[in-house]
């Protein structure tokens, strides 16, 4: 209760009630008037925008709410742009917890003292975030490593605040139309799964190792080595990398890094992860990306913090690829048809109407020069449009959208003249050609050839029995049709009987009503002696008949 009161106080102090449209609350009169006349309205909102006030409130509420705001900022398909922009600036740098607690936890998890495990262990943390704290160390007097340890007690804090967020989301969806549109309950549940994954260092280690294996000796991306013998569910030990933070544009220019090459490599790295490996780093914000500028003419990327990873099904890959190519070819009807074929839009959707809406979204984008067209915002607008036709946003596509927005924004920051399509279109056309047409057929045949060869000796017997099996299936279908016809006739008969019962029951009730009314008004006549029982019996029989109908 104390925590809830504090949350409500922070919300009042930053006037988060202004995020709610009061006119939309008229259906909930009590809440509408409470918001309109509650004393918190005496607090002036000031000159800060709604997004700025929401960001400051989340910062004050602490790590769990900060990370929730970060995740909410990726839902640009459902969040107003101003709010999404402000929330994307949230940083979860928090004061470090005591070194003794961290070292005790590391020693407990690794089964030995840090002085015996490491030849040198730095007592001052090099980074402190909401989930974990990072220390520098040396192995074997030569290998530079980092040791990342989960904050003690963070699980309890997260569980408590998540329960509070679920309660607030449930109440908000009940009373606030905008919250229902944002599907806050679903957002909180997605966040719950994500943040618990970030608590598991073994999961992060597996993700890091797989991403590293996908880019061996690559000129695009380097992923640090994991020291598995010094990793547990609460501690991970990895190679310490040296590089220039991707956000330090001044230093990159100072090192004379070829920014065009770097930007194009970023796009190529993204498409390789998504469409070749189907395993992409889904938290590629500037704090997790560094640049190896050893060779400024041919720079490469270094990725850290692989706690959040995305992947797509083959159907999702095809959906994104075909939408991308259809967009490039201005084939708006193909985009509409893809949504229906994927099952994300109801099959009875008016295809012409949906195509016209997509055209209205896309044509203003094509008014710009090709190099200025951004696919990330297009994807956001496409999702928003599709939702109006009943599309439910897929969590895996939200991760993809978030990553694409990061990559595209990063690329344009590094090299404003970046033409995303110059890199993307040839890549996507090659990818599609490998999955559709003769090459894809041969590849599929080669994949299943061992199974086919194994079954080849059985083919004559299978073919001989196929005719009989088909006849058996046909006989069963005929029998089912006969049974269905009998069932339909029985249903028709039962419906007729039910109609007769309803007619008789209704007639008896009407007759009883007349008799009873007559009995009450003519109680002293000779009919009154028999009218009452006659009316009651008619009413009872009528109700019985109706109930059976």
Looking at the DSSP bridge assignments, the partners of residue 300 are 292
Angle separating helix axes 154-175 and 184-198, nearest 10 degrees: 170
Pull the structure tokens for residue 41.
């309205």
Write down the residue that tokens 């006030």 correspond to.
53
Say if CB 424 and CB 303 are below 8 A apart.
no
Virtual CA dihedral for 250, 251, 256, 257, nearest 10 degrees?
Answer: -100
Max Cα-Cα span within the chain: 119
For residue 143, with 0-12 CB atoms within 10 Å meaning exposed, 13-18 middle and 19 or more buried, which class applies?
Answer: middle
**Of 110, 186, 193, nearest to 149 (Cα)?**
110
C-alpha dihedral sign at 466, 471, 474, 480: negative
Say if CB 319 and CB 335 are below 8 A apart.
no
Specify the 3-state DSSP secondary structure of 464. Answer: helix
Please, where are the H alpha helices in 288-329? Answer: 314-328
Sequence-distant (≥ 6) Cβ neighbours of residue 146 within 8 angstroms:
126, 134, 135, 136, 137, 237, 238, 239, 240
For the chain, the first-to-last Cα distance in angstroms comes to 54
Residue 283 a catalytic site member: yes
Say if CB 11 and CB 5 are below 8 A apart.
no
State the SS3 of 371-394: HHCCHHHHHHHHHHHHHCCCCCCC
Write down the residue that tokens 């070819």 correspond to.
329
**Of 34, 37, 39, 40, nearest to 15 (Cα)?**
40
Cα separation, 281 vs 207, whole angstroms: 9
Pull the structure tokens for residue 380.
């956001």
Looking at the DSSP bridge assignments, the partners of residue 281 are 309
Sequence-distant (≥ 6) Cβ neighbours of residue 391 within 8 angstroms:
339, 344, 345, 383
CA distances from 312 to 290, 318, 395, 400, 404 (A): 26, 9, 10, 9, 14
* Cβ count near 269 (within 10 Å): 22
Cα separation, 127 vs 146, whole angstroms: 10
Please tell me which residue in 77, 92, 190, 283 is annotated as part of the active site.
283
User: Among all residues, which ones are annotated catalytic?
Assistant: 283
């Amino acid at each position: 209760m104390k925590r809830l009161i504090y949350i409500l106080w922070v919300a009042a102090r930053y006037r988060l009630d202004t995020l709610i449209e009061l006119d939309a609350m008229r259906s909930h009169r009590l809440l509408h008037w409470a918001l309109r006349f509650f004393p918190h309205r005496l607090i002036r909102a000031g000159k800060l925008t709604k997004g700025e006030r929401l960001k400051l409130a989340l910062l004050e509420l602490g790590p769990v709410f900060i990370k929730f705001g970060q995740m909410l900022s990726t839902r640009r398909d459902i969040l107003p742009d101003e709010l999404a922009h402000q929330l994307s600036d949230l940083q979860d740098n928090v004061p470090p917890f005591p070194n003794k607690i961290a070292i005790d936890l590391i020693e407990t998890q690794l089964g030995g003292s840090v002085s015996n495990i490491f030849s040198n262990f730095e007592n001052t943390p090099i980074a402190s975030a909401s989930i974990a704290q990072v220390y520098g160390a040396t192995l074997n007097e030569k290998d530079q490593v980092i040791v990342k340890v989960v904050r003690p007690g963070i699980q309890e804090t997260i569980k408590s605040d998540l329960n509070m967020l679920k309660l607030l989301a449930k109440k908000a969806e009940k009373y606030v139309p905008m919250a229902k549109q944002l599907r806050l309950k679903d957002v909180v549940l997605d966040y719950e799964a994500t943040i618990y994954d970030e608590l598991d260092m073994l999961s992060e280690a597996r993700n890091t190792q797989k991403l590293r294996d996908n880019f061996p000796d690559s000129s695009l991306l380097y992923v640090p080595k994991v020291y598995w013998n010094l990793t547990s569910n609460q501690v991970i030990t990895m190679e310490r990398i040296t590089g220039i933070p991707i956000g330090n544009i001044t230093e990159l220019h100072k090192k004379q890094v070829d920014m065009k090459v770097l930007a194009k490599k970023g796009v190529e790295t993204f498409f390789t992860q998504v469409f070749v490996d189907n395993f992409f780093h889904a938290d590629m914000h500037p704090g997790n990306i560094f640049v190896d500028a050893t060779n400024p003419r041919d720079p490469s990327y270094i990725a850290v913090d692989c706690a959040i990873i995305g992947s797509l099904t083959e159907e999702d890959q095809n959906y994104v690829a075909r939408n991308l190519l259809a967009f490039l070819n201005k084939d708006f009807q193909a985009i509409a048809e893809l949504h229906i074929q994927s099952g994300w839009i109801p099959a009875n959707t008016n295809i012409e109407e949906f195509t016209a809406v997509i055209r209205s979204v896309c044509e203003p984008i094509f008014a710009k020069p090709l190099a200025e067209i951004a696919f990330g915002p297009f994807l956001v607008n496409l999702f928003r449009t599709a939702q109006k036709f009943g599309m439910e946003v897929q969590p895996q596509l939200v991760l993809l959208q978030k990553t694409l927005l990061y990559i595209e924004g990063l690329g344009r920051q590094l090299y404003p003249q970046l033409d995303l399509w110059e890199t993307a279109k040839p890549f996507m056309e090659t990818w599609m050609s490998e999955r559709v047409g003769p090459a894809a057929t041969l590849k599929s045949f080669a994949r299943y050839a061992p199974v086919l060869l194994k079954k080849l000796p059985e083919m004559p017997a299978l073919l001989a029995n196929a005719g009989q099996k088909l006849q058996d299936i046909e006989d069963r279908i005929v029998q089912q049709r006969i049974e269905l016809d009998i069932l339909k006739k029985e249903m028709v008969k039962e419906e007729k009987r039910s109609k007769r019962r309803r007619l008789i029951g209704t007639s008896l009730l009407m007759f009883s009503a007349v008799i009873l009314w007559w009995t009450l008004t003519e109680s002293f006549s000779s009919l009154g002696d028999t009218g009452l029982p006659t009316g009651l019996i008619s009413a009872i029989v009528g109700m019985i008949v109706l109930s059976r109908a």
